[in-house]
């Protein structure tokens, strides 16, 4: 009986030493537990099957949006092309019928000329003819003035090459040098643009 005591004490010391080992060392010494935990974590990272269905539906939704935006872009381009065509047509019509207003205003003048030509020549006198011509002239002059046509002043004015065209030069002691002494042909200005300069004689 006295010989078995040391053996029992050694086993007790071994159990105590095992109990004193850190828990981390036991886990490190268990490779099977490490492998099983790695398999479990990798299994958790795999996306579920339902997520693939969501991606497919999202892809389909974006395809529909792309098709809708493409249709909108094509409609916008078509609208822009129609607008360009309409604008071009309006510009062509404006250029084509730009003088329509003046023509309409001159129609009464044309009517008066026709009446004068169709008048009875046996009863027509020089005075009546002059009166008719003066009436038509005033009517035409009024139409031109309404459209912005004005005569250029020349007689007795200093010569201005922007408005006058000198065709003759004379020596006249009654006028200063560079003064227009006579207007040979009337000049006209349309608003702020010279249509035709006045042909004049200038004192030298």
Output b/e per residue, 163-198; b: 16+ Cβ within 10 A. bbbbeeeeeeeeeeeebbbebeeebebeeeeeeebb
Q: Is 95 within the bounds of a domain?
A: no
Q: State both tokens at 90.
A: 């309006």
Q: What is the pLDDT of residue 25?
A: 45
The pLDDT tens digits for 15-24 are 554 444 444 4
Whether 158 contacts 180, CB under 8 Å: yes
Residue among 160, 198, 162, 200 at smallest CA distance from 181 = 200
Mean pLDDT over residues 46-54, rounded?
Answer: 54
Domains identified in the chain, total number: 1
Q: Is 31 within the bounds of a domain?
A: no
Q: What is the mean pLDDT of the chain?
A: 80
Mean pLDDT over residues 31-44, rounded?
Answer: 48
Looking at the predicted structure, is the pLDDT value of residue 7 above 90? no
**Partners of residue 179 on adjacent β-strands:** 158
Q: Is 174 within the bounds of a domain?
A: yes
Q: Is 188 within the bounds of a domain?
A: yes
Q: What is the largest CA-CA distance in the chain?
A: 181
Which pLDDT band holds residue 26 (cuts at 50, 70, 90)? very low
Mean pLDDT over residues 64-83, rounded?
Answer: 93
Q: What is the pLDDT of residue 116?
A: 84
Q: What is the pLDDT of residue 47?
A: 52
Q: What is the pLDDT of residue 6?
A: 47
Q: What is the pLDDT of residue 45?
A: 52
More confident residue, 175 or 47: 175
Q: Is 169 within the bounds of a domain?
A: yes
Looking at the predicted structure, is the pLDDT value of residue 42 above 80? no
What percentage of the chain has pLDDT greater than the value 70? Answer: 74
Q: Is 48 within the bounds of a domain?
A: no
Q: What is the pLDDT of residue 126?
A: 86
Q: How many residues are given for the chain?
A: 204
Domain range holding 167? 150-204
Q: Kindly report the CATH number assigned to the domain that includes residue 164.
A: 2.30.22.10
Strands (E), the chain: 149-151, 164-170, 180-185, 188-190, 193-196, 198-203
Write the CA distances from 137 to 108, 114, 147, 162, integer angstroms: 12, 14, 16, 27
Q: Is 161 within the bounds of a domain?
A: yes
The pLDDT tens digits for 83-141 are 999 999 999 988 888 888 889 999 999 998 898 888 888 888 888 888 888 999 999 99
Q: Is 39 within the bounds of a domain?
A: no
């Amino acid at each position: 009986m006295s010989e078995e005591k040391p053996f029992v004490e050694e086993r007790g010391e071994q159990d105590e030493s095992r109990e004193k080992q850190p828990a981390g060392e036991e886990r490190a010494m268990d490779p099977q537990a490490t492998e099983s935990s790695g398999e479990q974590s990798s299994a958790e990272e795999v996306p579920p099957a339902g997520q693939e269905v969501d991606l497919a539906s999202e892809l389909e939704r974006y395809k529909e949006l792309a098709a809708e935006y493409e249709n909108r872009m094509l409609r916008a381009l078509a609208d822009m092309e129609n607008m360009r065509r309409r604008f071009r047509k309006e510009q062509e019509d404006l250029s084509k019928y730009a003088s329509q207003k003046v023509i309409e205003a001159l129609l009464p003048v044309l009517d008066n000329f026709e009446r004068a030509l169709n008048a009875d020549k046996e009863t027509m006198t020089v005075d009546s003819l002059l009166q008719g011509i003066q009436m038509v002239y005033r009517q035409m002059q009024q139409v031109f003035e309404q459209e912005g046509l004005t005569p250029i002043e020349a007689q007795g004015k200093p010569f201005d090459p922007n408005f006058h065209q000198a065709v003759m030069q004379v020596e006249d002691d009654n006028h200063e040098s560079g003064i227009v002494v006579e207007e040979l042909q009337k000049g006209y200005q349309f608003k702020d643009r010279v249509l035709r300069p006045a042909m004049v004689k200038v004192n030298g």
